[in-house]
Amino acid sequence: MAFQVKYTPSAKADLRKAYQWLLEESRSPEIAYTWFNEITQAVESLTDNPKRCKLAPENNYFSQEIRQLLYGKRHGQYRVLFTIEESTVWILHLRHCAQEHLR
């Protein structure tokens, strides 16, 4: 079964903020652009079997099941928090792994 991926406004804002930060910190549009394309491709991979991703630590604090897709390596790793409703994967937030968990 193929799922449809949709972003909440918060998730879109998180993605934009992370892209802007990377663009400013790396001072390389190519690096920021590549990161953006790769993370959006990783998110789009959730159209196939999103339950392959583990439950997020935040899952214990919310009534809906919250899962996470990890993207990146070491200090550059991000957590894509999402929930599944019928045939739609809702991207809720994009968090750097150094950020505290949501409550």
The confidence score (pLDDT) of residue 1 equals 72
| 30: Cβ contacts below 8 Å, ≥ 6 apart | none
Residue ranges of alpha helices (H) inside the chain are 9-26, 29-44
Q: Please determine, for residue 41, whether its predicted confidence score (pLDDT) is greater than 80.
A: yes
Q: Set out the domains of the chain in order of their start, with CATH numbers.
A: 4-96 (3.30.2310.20)
The confidence score (pLDDT) of residue 24 equals 87
Distances in Å between the Cα of 54 and the Cα atoms of 4, 16, 65 are 19, 25, 10
- Exposed / middle / buried, residue 56 (Cβ in 10 Å: 0-12, 13-18, 19+): buried
The confidence score (pLDDT) of residue 97 equals 77
Q: Are strands 4-7 and 67-71 parallel, antiparallel or unpaired?
A: unpaired
- The pTM of the full predicted model, rounded to 2 decimals, is 0.90
